[in-house]
Structure formats: structure tokens, C-alpha cells
Amino acid sequence: MKYVYFFGAGRTEGTREQKNLLGGKGANLAEMSRLGLPVPPGFTITTEACESFYTAGKTWPEGLEAEVRGKLAELEQATGKRFGDPENPLLVSVRSGAAASMPGMMDTVLNLGINETTLEALARRSGNPRFAWDSYRRFMQMFGDVVMGVPHHDFELALQSVKDARGVRQDTDLDVDDLKKVVALYSELYHRHVGGGFPTDPWIQLKHSIDAVFGSWNNPRAIRYRQLNDIKGLNGTAVNIQAMVFGNMGDESGTGVCFTRDPANGDNVFYGEYLMNAQGEDVVAGIRTPHPISTLGEQNPAIYRQLLDIRSKLEAHYKDMQDIEFTIEDGKLFMLQTRAGKRTIFAALNAAVDMVDEGLIDRDTALMRIPAGSFNQLFAPVLDRKSKEKARLITKGLNASPGGASGRAVFTAEDAEAWAGRGESVILCRLETSPEDIGGMAVAKGILTARGGMTSHAAVVARGMGAPCVAGASSLHVDAGSRTITCGDVVIREGDLLAIDGFSGEVFLGAVDVNPSEIVQVLRGMMSESESRLYRNYKRLVGWADEVRRLGVRTNADTPRDAEMAVLFGAEGIGLCRTEHMFFEGDRIVPFREMILVADEVKRLREQAEADPGNEEIRRKLEAPLATYTHALSVLLPLQRSDFEGIFSVLDGKPCNIRLLDPPLHEFLPQDREGQLEMAKVMGVSVERIAEVVETLHEFNPMLGHRGIRIGLTYPEISDMQVRAIMEAAIDCTDRGIKVLPEIMIPLVGHPAELRISRERAQAVVDAVLVERGKPADYIDYRIGTMIEVPRAAVDAGKVAAHADFFSFGTNDLTQMGCGFSRDDAGKFLGDYVRMGIYDKDPFASIDEEGVGELVRLAVERGRGARPGIKLGVCGEHGGDPSSIRFFHNVGLDYVSCSPYRVPVARLAAAQSVLEKAK
């Protein structure tokens, strides 16, 4: 096994393709060397060596030391310097570099190889003793901190004490004697923390540093980073050892970091900053203010021209925006890194479309270039940049859900609803959110929590709702009791103005203007297409996606307003229209509750009457409740009909999948005494009667209870009313020239016989309505089908398909039942499970392909086997998740359905699925 790869000096061994082996940094150093760019030579220890280091119990694997020593000798030869040489010493940098970028890991040790002997040589050869001593103290600090764990802060204090004694502010104001004092203090510090003297043997320095890089791979911060960023399947980190070039050798030296395009908006301009007489860390540290890269053209036109040339070469070669690091040593340019540049979604979109126009990439590459998961960030409202600068930044949390929001601080879901009810914009501030907060979250402009990560309840729900969210802002002390937030000396009270930026995680005190997304402004006709380059690029890109994709994209929408927005976003129909929401609206809950109160009595008495047809007493008893029951349904019918008419009108010609009543009846009744008292008053029945019905309807496991088709079979008149409303609305719309394609979806089917019976009953209602209205049987092009969300239905899909024109996979419930954990309760262990690597990701966010996905696969295979033309879609939340969409594409579904704001995400992800599969 080969553990070490050389690069530079015309003897490069690796290539850019070997990212997994050499890490991103190592592979690109090799690639730049091959391109003939000025890269200081060096060598990369592979990720496999790191893996072997761990399997060997944190010791170097057999042969690694010999290889490192061998490559070091090659490096000495290539540079003409020698490690530890008192005359012409070789100094190196040691940098970690995994296959995926991991800024949370140990980064860099510079100037390694320096000690009091070699620094004299360095001083002599550079004619710059200050530079040599500065390099030494930098090395001591980095090595001490990063490799040996001496607190960084202690080094800073020691340095500051010398600056204070000299009365200077900048490090660069310290002279050689000052630096010698710093070195003495650092030595003492090192001795105190580590014991023994500071290691002078360059090989020992190198060995410790390599160990430290290996060790950093599994430090808690790195592990956490990989979890948060969903980085899996890597062996370890590579280690890059490279001959030092010095940006801190004087005013002809310097260092900089650039992007080949603007990473904020994608503009094709050279973008970045640099500092003269500095090493890389100084640019980042913020002690001195770096200059914009464009000013380098005046200061050093030759180097600038050389950089522009390299920028072009790299973009032409990598065909992507690059993020590069360079150092100028005594007027000579060296390249230290290149990698794909991190960019905002705006930049990603603009750059991808520009590059197609520039002929750099083709359509398919452009489509693959956009991270589909972030695509909906394009539609989030944004904090006005200027207004933001005027506000007070109080803290930063996790950018949990993109978008900007501004409003009054409220501390409970009830307060949020109350303030919002008065027309106020609110930011809901919670320690953390829970399912009871949903109502408040839905009305809030933004959500701010002090606890919880990117997958916390607040984050997940906010992303689902498309609401901006800053989560885990841990410096905020949220006290819902006193309705205050304290953050240092700032106290925020209910009603105070706050703003959050879900793109950056920033939290501001005071009013900040919020602008709608540019694309949404154009879609809504508030801005013209010609005014917005972003919109034009968006339109071209999703147009390309539509050319490529095979999967249809529908939306989950319950209202004409949502449906309208979804259509603007390109939805090709509704994949899930939940009808239960309609019963909660306004006063409709009253007749619905009237019905619930008598439903069971009606059912019981009817059964008795059937068993004993002659019994007049039973018949008499049945009369009153039956009248209430029938009347309540007759009140609801025209309301539902008009709901459907509204939605059908928006869709005009696009299919509309309507799910019959799904939740258990107890969800429609108040569970608490107070609510029951109020309901009793409104409805004129005794509170005891209400409490009794609530008690009767109570369930131990509501998730596995009396809901969905089970209600349809127990109280079939409810479904009858809904089917009637759908058909009457469809006929009315068709009469008015609106094309309607209704799909009646029967939920929670587990057994084919459930669907057979329900379907027959629905069919009878459909037929009756058509006859009543004097329409031919084919007047409406309707379908009747079912959700597949119960594991039993998935494995028995062949038989279920006999009664279904379509299946729509309800992967939320299929996950709950298939994996056997309820979403409401799984929080207690699912976080641990993801941390332990049992599930790669939260299976409610991305479909668990091997488990729940296998149930889908079986159902597809068996359903299509029995009924080849059956239409297959998915309406769970997974329908808007790119990696799940890839799965649904591969498994052969016809369409996915997702929330309106995720429709463009799904269009793009569907196209990417085709392209990925083709690879």
C-alpha cells in the first residue's frame, strides 16, 4: 500500500480524481501542479493512512514512517533545502484535508521545522531576523495550540503583555527583541502546560503534527460537523506537507484568498482580498483589515495579471467557480489551494446559467450544479441589506430555515396567534418549539429558538412551512414565564421589534425592512421579468429541468391561494388536497361537532334497528340523532362544494387529488375542560355530554386508531357527503367551461376489502350525482384510488390495486408504521439514532430507502404487476426532498407532490435524478 504522494517540482503523482484518497486539498494541489501553476512542492499522506492509523490503535501503520522520510528527502532534493539544516533549512506547512471540506477540523501548522538554530539560518538567508523570529513565535503558537492543546487564549495574553509593555497595537510593530521576549514567554507557557521543553527536532515536530491531524479527524467537533453536514463514508483525513513560502517576509510578500466569481451573486468578476507582509491566518483573523483584490492591480500589476491568468486557467480547467489561496514570497506568486467555491443559491443559479452562455458548461452540468435542497431559498423573503446595517446585531444562531423576517417578539404560541390576530407581524421566540406550538409557528413571520440544531423541531417545521428560522442561538436566555429574552446586557420584552436572517443566522434588535424574493415579485407581477436577471436565469434553469425530468411534480395544497402559488411555481396539479382543514375553518366546526356528538349513537341504534326490524322503540329513539346527523352533513355539503370549486377553478385542466377525511374524530373536539365548556355553550348541550364523547373517542395510540378509511367505513355518510361535494363541484365547474380532473383518494387503506367496499360506495354516490344532474357517465374524468401508507397495503398492493386507479404513497405514515416509531415520540431517541449512525438521516426528512423504501418498491412492483396502468405518486413530505425524489425516480413513480414552495426544488431534483441515473 502506497501511503504518500508527491506533488510539484515536475514529479506530481496524484490527480484531481483522487479526492477520496488525497483529500480535496491534496488532489487539487496535485492538479494545479500538473497544470503548471506555481505550487510549492510537497507531499500528501493519504486518507487510507489515517484509516490505518485508527485501526492500528492510533499508531502509524507499518511502512508509513519510511515513506514519509523518503518523500521528505525528495522534497529536500526538489527545494535544495534540508529539514533542520543549520545553513539552508527546509520549513514546511502541515495541513489536514479530507475529501469533503470540513472547516471545523484542525487546519494548519505553518513554519514547521523551525527552531533556534534553523531560525538563525532563516534570518541570515532572508536578511530579515524579524521575519525569522516572527515565524518562530507563530510556529510555537500554532504547534502549542493546535498540536499540543495549550490554550490559544494564553498565547494571546502573552503576546498582548509584550505589546502592552512596548505600547504598540499591531503585531508588526514588534521588533526582534520584542519577539524574543514573546518566544521566551511562549516557552514558559508550553512548559507549564505540556511539561518538558518545546520540541526542537523538526522530525519530532512533524510526527506530532501528523498525529494531531490524524487525531483531529475524530474530535467531537469534527464528528459533529460531519453529522450536521451529512458527510458520510469517508476514511479519514489526508495530511498535506508542503514547503513553506512566506507571505510575511516583508512588503514584497503577502497572502490572499479569492473567488473566481462573486460568491454572493455569481457575477463574473474576480473577487477576494489580500494582505501584504502576512501569513494566511492574518487574513482570516481580522486583526488587520485586508484589501480588495482589485487594488492589487495597482500595487503589483504583474502579480495581479498572473493571478487573473490563473483565474481563467482554473475556471477553464475546473469549469466551475473556484475559491483559491495564494502567497507572494518576495515578489513571487505561489498557489496554495484551489477548490470549488462556496456560494449562495443566488450565485449558484446565476453562475451556472452564465457559464452555459459562456460555453463553459452544458445544460446538464448547469442543472447538476445547483444544490436542489437549497433551491427554495430563492423564494424566501430577504432582509433589506441597508436596513440591516442600521440595526443592532445581538447574536448569531444556526441558519435553520432561510429568509428574513422582522416583527414583534412573542413568547408563546398563544401570544403569537393573539398578536397576529391583531394584524401584527411577530417573531415567535422559544427555548425550543414542540408540536403544540404549531399554531403559533404558522402565524409567525419567523421563528427564533435558543436550543436545538438544524434538525430540531423548530428547524424542520420552519423549513416545511417556508418560514425563516434561526435556531440554537445559545447566548439567548429565553424566559417564557416573564416573557423576556436576555442576551448579555440586552433585554428583549414582548412586543419589542426583532429581525432574524435565516440565511446567516443573524438576530437583530430593532426594525429591519424585509423584501420579498425577487423571483416571487416577478411571479406575482410586482416586478417585470426584464428587471430581474435572477428571475430570467431561474426561468431558464427550471425550463431546462422540465426538458430533462421524467417525474411529474404536483403540490400539496388545501386552498385556492396555495394552489395558485404552486401553479406559479410550476406545479402540474394537486397531489394531496386535505379536506379536514376545511372543517376547522370559521364556523364550520360547529355542524361538524354536532355530527360527531351523535355519530356513534346513530350507528348503534341503526345496527339495533337492523337486527330487530320490528322494534318501534328503537326506531323512535333513532329519529332525533339521525335528524341532527343528516342535517349537519347537509350544512357541510355546500361549504365543501364551494371549497372544491375554488380549487378546481385555479387548476383548470390539472388533476386534483382530494383525500377524504383522515384524522380521528377526537381531533375535532376540545380536549380540555375550558374548551369543552365553551363548546357546550356554543352548541347548547351539556358539558358532561361533550366530556363523555371525548372520553369515548379517547385513544391510547391515536396514530394507530380510528381514522382514515376506518371512519369512512364506520360513518359512511361523511365520505358520501365529501364525494358528493367533489362531484357536484366538478359538474358545476365543467358546466362553466373549466376542465376538472378530480381524483378521489381514500386514506389509510390496509386491506383490499376496505378499499373495495369504500370504492363501491363512492362509485354509487358518483353515479347518483351524475344521474341527478342529467349528465352522461363520462361527463367528468375522475379517478378513485388510495394512499399507500399502511405496511400491510404495501405488501398486499397487488390486491389493493384491483380497486385503485392510483396509489399515492403517504410516506410519513408509512415511515411511522414501517419503522414503528411515531413522529411525536421518536424525538426521544431518533437524535441518538442518527448520531449512532443507525439511520443516516432523519427518516422523516429523507426516505429510509432500505426499509420504508423497500415497502414502496414492493408496492410499486406488485401494484403495477396487477394493474399495469396504475398511476403512482407520493404525497408525503419526502416528495419535496431531493434525495428522496431521486429514490422515487429510480423506483419508477409517475409523480411527486410537495408543498408549493418546494415545487421548483422537486422540478430540479427530478431532472438531477435523470442525469445522475444516466451517469
For 553, phi then psi, to 5°, come to -130, 120
Closest CA to 399 of 341, 345, 352: 345
CB burial class (10 A; 0-12, 13-18, 19+) of residue 238? buried
From the list 348-356, 442-450, 488-496, 810-818, the region that binds a second copy by CB under 8 A is: 810-818
> How many residues in total does the chain contain?
919
**Identity at 190, one-letter amino acid code:** Y
Q: Which grid cell sits at 869? A: 396502468
Catalytic residue among 429, 457, 656, 889: 457
Which long-range contacts does 284-293 make (Cβ < 8 Å, 24+ apart)?
284/257, 287/170, 287/171, 288/170, 288/172, 290/256, 293/256, 293/258
Q: Which grid cell sits at 609? A: 334497528
Cα–Cα distance list, 684 to 678, 687, 689, 690, 719 (Å): 10, 9, 11, 11, 27
Among 154, 796, 805, 881, binds a second copy (CB under 8 A): 796
Which long-range contacts does 439-445 make (Cβ < 8 Å, 24+ apart)?
439/413, 440/410, 440/412, 440/413, 440/414, 440/415, 440/416, 441/413, 441/416, 441/465, 441/467, 443/416, 443/417, 444/405, 444/407, 444/410, 444/416, 444/420, 445/405, 445/406, 445/407, 445/514
- Min dist CB 839 to a second copy, Å, is 7
Q: Which grid cell sits at 235? A: 476514511
How many binding residues for a second copy (CB under 8 A)? Answer: 55
Whether 875 sits among the annotated catalytic residues: the reply is yes
From the list 346-354, 455-463, 788-796, 873-881, the region that binds a second copy by CB under 8 A is: 788-796
- Min dist CB 191 to a second copy, Å, is 20
> What string of DSSP letters covers 112-180?
ET--HHHHHHHHHHHT-HHHHHHHHHHHHHHIIIIIT---HHHHHHHHHHHHHHHT--SGGG--HHHHH
| 228 lies in the binding site for a second copy (CB under 8 A) | no
Q: Which is nearer to a second copy, 502 or 810 (CB)?
A: 810
**Identity at 638, one-letter amino acid code:** P
Among 201, 825, 865, 916, binds a second copy (CB under 8 A): 825
Using DSSP's 3-state secondary structure scheme, residue 409 falls into strand
- Interface of this chain with a second copy, residues 833 to 892, rule: CB under 8 A: 833, 836-839, 848, 850-852, 854-855, 858
Per-residue interface string for the shown chain with a second copy, residues 605-634, x marking contact by CB under 8 A: -----xxx----------------------
- Min dist CB 193 to a second copy, Å, is 12
Using DSSP's 3-state secondary structure scheme, residue 274 falls into strand
- Min dist CB 673 to a second copy, Å, is 17
- Min dist CB 451 to a second copy, Å, is 12
Per-residue interface string for the shown chain with a second copy, residues 744-783, x marking contact by CB under 8 A: ----x-xx-xx--x--------------------------
- Rounded to whole angstroms, how far apart are CA atoms 225 and 227? 5
Among 360, 497, 589, 703, binds a second copy (CB under 8 A): 703
- Rounded to whole angstroms, how far apart are CA atoms 3 and 11? 16
Closest CA to 346 of 402, 273, 406, 284: 402
Ramachandran assignment for 443, one of left (phi > 0), alpha (psi -120 to 50 degrees), beta (any other): alpha
> Could you write out the three-class secondary structure of 477-524?
EEECCCCEEEECCEEEECCCEEEEECCCCEEEECCCCEECCHHHHHHC
Among 319, 773, 792, 841, binds a second copy (CB under 8 A): 792
Residues 46, 50, 52, 58, Cα dihedral to 10°: 150
Among 297, 371, 705, 892, binds a second copy (CB under 8 A): 705
| 596 lies in the binding site for a second copy (CB under 8 A) | no
Among 103, 359, 820, 868, binds a second copy (CB under 8 A): 820
Reported as half-sphere exposure (CB side, CA atoms, 13 A), residue 194 has a value of 20
Per-residue interface string for the shown chain with a second copy, residues 478-517, x marking contact by CB under 8 A: ----------------------------------------
Q: Which is nearer to a second copy, 331 or 705 (CB)?
A: 705
Among 312, 474, 528, 714, binds a second copy (CB under 8 A): 714
Catalytic residue among 50, 469, 733, 875: 875
Q: Which is nearer to a second copy, 84 or 831 (CB)?
A: 831
Among 167, 700, 778, 869, binds a second copy (CB under 8 A): 700
| 874, 553 contact by CB (below 8 A) | no
Q: Which is nearer to a second copy, 439 or 495 (CB)?
A: 439
- Min dist CB 126 to a second copy, Å, is 40
Q: Which is nearer to a second copy, 175 or 824 (CB)?
A: 824
Q: Which is nearer to a second copy, 297 or 716 (CB)?
A: 716
For 786, phi then psi, to 5°, come to -145, 160
Closest CA to 243 of 373, 75, 395: 75
Q: Which is nearer to a second copy, 550 or 792 (CB)?
A: 792
Using DSSP's 3-state secondary structure scheme, residue 255 falls into strand
Q: Which is nearer to a second copy, 175 or 699 (CB)?
A: 699
- Rounded to whole angstroms, how far apart are CA atoms 234 and 7? 22
- Interface of this chain with a second copy, residues 197 to 226, rule: CB under 8 A: 220, 224
- Min dist CB 753 to a second copy, Å, is 4
Residue 44 pairs with which residues in a beta bridge?
5, 240
From the list 284-292, 413-421, 555-563, 809-817, the region that binds a second copy by CB under 8 A is: 809-817
Q: Using alpha carbons only, what angle is made at residue 371 by residues 366 and 376, rounded to the nearest 5 degrees?
A: 110
Give the containing element (helix H, strand E) for 648: helix 616-651
- Min dist CB 764 to a second copy, Å, is 16
Q: Which is nearer to a second copy, 125 or 835 (CB)?
A: 835
Q: Which is nearer to a second copy, 862 or 886 (CB)?
A: 862
From the list 313-321, 477-485, 537-545, 694-702, the region that binds a second copy by CB under 8 A is: 694-702
Q: Which is nearer to a second copy, 354 or 754 (CB)?
A: 754
- Min dist CB 328 to a second copy, Å, is 40
Ramachandran assignment for 257, one of left (phi > 0), alpha (psi -120 to 50 degrees), beta (any other): beta
Whether 208 sits among the annotated catalytic residues: the reply is no
Among 791, 873, 880, 900, binds a second copy (CB under 8 A): 791
- Rounded to whole angstroms, how far apart are CA atoms 431 and 408? 17
| 704 lies in the binding site for a second copy (CB under 8 A) | yes
Among 177, 829, 916, 917, binds a second copy (CB under 8 A): 829
* Residues labelled catalytic: 457, 875
Binding site for a second copy (CB under 8 A): 220, 224, 610-612, 699-706, 710, 713-714, 748, 750-751, 753-754, 757, 789-792, 795-796, 799, 813, 816-822, 824-826, 828-829, 832-833, 836-839, 848, 850-852, 854-855, 858
